[in-house]
Structure 1
Amino acid sequence: MDPDSCSTCPFCDLPVPSSQLQWHANAHFHDPALPQQSEQSVSGSELEAVSGDCNNWHGGETSRDNGECKMDEKISCLIGLQTRSNFYKVEAGLIALLRNCLESETENSKSILSCCIDHFQSLNSEDAGWGCGWRNIQMLSSHLLAQRPEAREVLFGGSGFVPDILSLQRWLEIAWEKGFDAPGAAQLDHAVYGSKKWIGTTECSALLRSFALRARIVDFGPKESQSVVGISVDNTVDKTRNDKMANSKVKSEAYQVLMDFVWNYFSDENSIQFGQQHVVICEKTPLYFQHDGHSRTIVGVQAKHQQNGILPYNLLVLDPAHSTATLERSLKQKIGWQKLIKKDRNTLKKPQYQLCYVDPGIASEEEMEDLKTIDSIFLEL
């Protein structure tokens, strides 16, 4: 038997590289809790070996096809052998802890939060300095898997878990090969697996859209940047699809546009009624929040009551650069959590920002073609 061919697992009916079939099948016996849609973890080196067995992600020959490996074979192999991401699980849930802190505040305010999200921190041993974009994808994915049954069914082949960065890099390459975000794929040379290349909202959108999810992008910036789709966060990356960043500092008042958008997004433009429910949980997805150099995840927004007609807001943000254990401790003790999570408009210093969110539902086949082109809504600061 050709070792590079794919065989079918007799227990879960997944196509598996022949060289990995015995190990894969044995996993069903070693873990009695293992579901029929296999969720076992493998190391990065094993995943790399699998990608070689499904040879080759960017060309090569297989026994089944004189050309490159078929797309469905690549996807089947990745579904069966992708790695579950390790992360620090907060048993009480970060959103529940944050809600308790917000409710304990005495000021006249109203907060709106997304529910059910896990925090994925960057690790010095893995992705410190470059992995924030992938960590935000993991955070957004954890919410989608927990809250949207239709997303859970399609994301990552229905595995039901958040993959590690190496697996996500393979999923992004598959999205590119399917035709999603062709300019972005070309900018990153059609390859990210095993690299430290920076990614952002555009890559997040392409990856999620490849699963028929309606990921949307909103740009905020000066008028001359209206045509921009994607903010470069790596000085070594080709910036041909990005206008030059504005040199002058945008005044603080201009960021009210961004703050208003975030409030209206989470509140669904409902009227603000102070003095009633202090903290509201909504069904909206968190926001992937990017600027030049870093990205974070907005999980909610707080509005403070004021008499002058302008509502001051605090964005409620989870930062991949923060330790999950530190966040948990500060929220449980209700000490120092505001500095870690609350961001008012005075903390916004960059001339351009981008947000990515996911609308409900699954795209039709006709809609999928349109989703391959990554566009955005532009709002001038």
Structure 2
Amino acid sequence: MDSDRFTTCPFCDSCLPLSQLTEHANFHFWELQHDFDLPPIIHRSPNATAPRQSLPREQAAYVSLSGAKYWRGGETSSYNGECKVNEKISCLIVSQTRSEFYKVEAGLMALLKNCLESEIGNSISILSGYVDHFQCLQSEDAGWGCGWRNIQMLSSHLLVQRPEARKALFGGSGFVPDILSLQRWLEIAWEKGFDLPGSAQFNHVIFGSKKWIGTTECAALLRSFALRARIVDFGPKESQSIPGSSADNARNETSIHNLVKEKDKEGRGYHVLMDFVWNYFLDKISIQFGQKHVVFSEKTPLYFQHDGHSRTIVGIQVNHQQKRHLQYNLLVLDPAQSTAALERSLRQKVGWEEHIKRGMHTLKKPQYQLCYVDPGIASEGEVEKLKTIDSIFLEF
């Protein structure tokens, strides 16, 4: 049977079943549309005149697949039929690329646990389970890729710790894709109706872009796999809506920052965020400290967003001071840091605190956002509701 025969893709030389060749080739045209900013692919009648589009000569190629004629490059860039979402998904599952990263032998979180256990003092710490560190690379995404790297870190946890997520994420590939593949997955999420307002802000295109993303894009991407990604906002009440021009927004941001500073002087302010993170990881149902002062939680890491940068919170430490005062330290993996340097400091137990710990005195931004993933897979009806990205707001 033809479906059992294999053939070679004329574009990328991949060997695949003949029955998948059309969908696979369609993906190349979809990719080409992004690369060369081509007009949307449309269906035309046999007598219609196709628009002329000049492309570099080396991109020109012609092939006949399943009786339908396609052009890759040259002067013609249209073909009969539309590339459906399911076809894009099928092609992306086959073509997506595993992200290359520095793999820490024995696991980064196990090294962090050893360091925390070696500390002397009256403290207790809670950590997420398995998490890989994905660093921004100077040659690839330095200065703009932190949001994608945090999605990769969160995904690395989900793939190892949650079997239901492993089956759902990235077509069941079992690995964390590179940034370009994640960008394609986000565009598919938008096309499926997730976060339409956010999609419009990017003009529905993110593939190949160096634009910054945040918790909303993270939630949309993960929700498109029926995962229950949640967002929590922190800030003064006035920060829930900041109207006006850019100049007005700058003045409002300054005003909001001043409000936070005043509340922080009164002993409140950022305690709201720290208390939330502690209670989130504590998960009283499953956490039992006993004689231990470092334990693992079943909760996912937290995508930690603020103006200008984002990181991943992988746990929290609390020190019991005199007069029952609690001193918190967020335990953070920063995409801007070198994984090799981070591993070295953890193995030697020298300088690792500077890489990992972030006390309340380091929280200086007027607004913060967190994104995490609740357990389980959403039902079909719930998925429809998840297409609208909402959040919980907690006032500083």
Greater Rg by CA: 2
1:132-151 alignment runs, 5 A limit? 132-151=146-165
Does structure 1 residue 341 correspond to structure 2 residue 356? yes
The alpha-carbon deviation at position 310 of structure 1 amounts to: 3.3
Equivalent position of 1:283 in the other structure: 298
Equivalent position of 1:83 in the other structure: 97
1:315-374 residue CA offsets vs partner (Å, 9 max, x unmatched): 000000000000000000111110110001100000000000000000000001100000
- Pick which of 17-26 and 112-121 moved more: 17-26
Equivalent position of 1:265 in the other structure: 280
The answer as to whether partners of 2:9 and 2:16 remain within 8 angstroms in 1 is no
User: Could you tell me which of 333, 337, 344 is aligned with 1:322?
Assistant: 337
1:220-251 residue CA offsets vs partner (Å, 9 max, x unmatched): 001112358xxxxxxxxx99999953433323
The answer as to whether partners of 2:9 and 2:25 remain within 8 angstroms in 1 is no
The answer as to whether partners of 1:9 and 1:21 remain within 8 angstroms in 2 is no
Equivalent position of 1:108 in the other structure: 122
Equivalent position of 2:29 in the other structure: 52
Equivalent position of 1:204 in the other structure: 218
Query: What amino acid maps onto 1:222 in structure 2?
Result: P
- Pick which of 246-255 and 55-64 moved more: 55-64
1:178-193 alignment runs, 5 A limit? 178-193=192-207
Equivalent position of 1:34 in the other structure: none
Rounded to whole Å, the distance in 2 between the matches of 1:146 and 1:274 is: 23
Aligned residues: 342
Query: What amino acid maps onto 2:167 in structure 1?
Result: E
* Helix, strand or coil at the partner of 1:245: helix
Structure 2 unmatched runs, 5+: 18-23, 44-67, 70-78
Call closer, same or farther: CA 1:370–1:22 in 2, change over 3 Å: same
Call closer, same or farther: CA 1:297–1:310 in 2, change over 3 Å: same
Call closer, same or farther: CA 1:78–1:275 in 2, change over 3 Å: closer
The answer as to whether partners of 2:126 and 2:282 remain within 8 angstroms in 1 is yes
The alpha-carbon deviation at position 76 of structure 1 amounts to: 0.4
User: Could you tell me which of 208, 213, 216 is aligned with 1:194?
Assistant: 208
Equivalent position of 2:57 in the other structure: none
Rounded to whole Å, the distance in 2 between the matches of 1:296 and 1:270 is: 27
The alpha-carbon deviation at position 311 of structure 1 amounts to: 1.4
Query: What amino acid maps onto 1:280 in structure 2?
Result: V
* Helix, strand or coil at the partner of 2:174: coil
The alpha-carbon deviation at position 52 of structure 1 amounts to: 1.8
Does structure 1 residue 24 correspond to structure 2 residue 15? yes
Rounded to whole Å, the distance in 2 between the matches of 1:133 and 1:141 is: 12
The alpha-carbon deviation at position 306 of structure 1 amounts to: 2.2
Query: What amino acid maps onto 1:263 in structure 2?
Result: W
Percent identical among aligned pairs is 69
Equivalent position of 1:231 in the other structure: none
1:158-169 alignment runs, 5 A limit? 158-169=172-183
The alpha-carbon deviation at position 59 of structure 1 amounts to: 2.8
Q: Normalized against structure 2, the TM-score is what?
A: 0.79
Does structure 1 residue 366 correspond to structure 2 residue 381? yes
The alpha-carbon deviation at position 67 of structure 1 amounts to: 4.7
Q: Normalized against structure 1, the TM-score is what?
A: 0.82
Does structure 1 residue 305 correspond to structure 2 residue 320? yes
Call closer, same or farther: CA 1:22–1:126 in 2, change over 3 Å: closer
User: Could you tell me which of 164, 189, 204 is aligned with 1:175?
Assistant: 189
Query: What amino acid maps onto 1:52 in structure 2?
Result: F
Rounded to whole Å, the distance in 1 between the matches of 2:375 and 2:294 is: 23
Call closer, same or farther: CA 1:154–1:272 in 2, change over 3 Å: closer
The answer as to whether partners of 2:8 and 2:15 remain within 8 angstroms in 1 is no
Call closer, same or farther: CA 1:138–1:243 in 2, change over 3 Å: farther
Call closer, same or farther: CA 1:331–1:8 in 2, change over 3 Å: farther
1:99-132 residue CA offsets vs partner (Å, 9 max, x unmatched): 0000000111000000111000000000000000
Call closer, same or farther: CA 1:130–1:240 in 2, change over 3 Å: farther
Equivalent position of 1:232 in the other structure: none
- Pick which of 265-274 and 175-184 moved more: 265-274
Aligned-residue CA RMSD (Å): 3.0
Rounded to whole Å, the distance in 2 between the matches of 1:145 and 1:272 is: 22
Rounded to whole Å, the distance in 1 between the matches of 2:393 and 2:247 is: 19
Rounded to whole Å, the distance in 2 between the matches of 1:157 and 1:256 is: 40
The alpha-carbon deviation at position 19 of structure 1 amounts to: 3.0
Rounded to whole Å, the distance in 1 between the matches of 2:282 and 2:359 is: 18
The answer as to whether partners of 1:54 and 1:69 remain within 8 angstroms in 2 is no
Equivalent position of 2:62 in the other structure: none
Query: What amino acid maps onto 2:272 in structure 1?
Result: V
The alpha-carbon deviation at position 290 of structure 1 amounts to: 0.3
* Helix, strand or coil at the partner of 1:369: helix
* Helix, strand or coil at the partner of 2:10: helix
The alpha-carbon deviation at position 308 of structure 1 amounts to: 2.5
User: Could you tell me which of 299, 305, 308 is aligned with 1:293?
Assistant: 308
Call closer, same or farther: CA 1:282–1:21 in 2, change over 3 Å: same
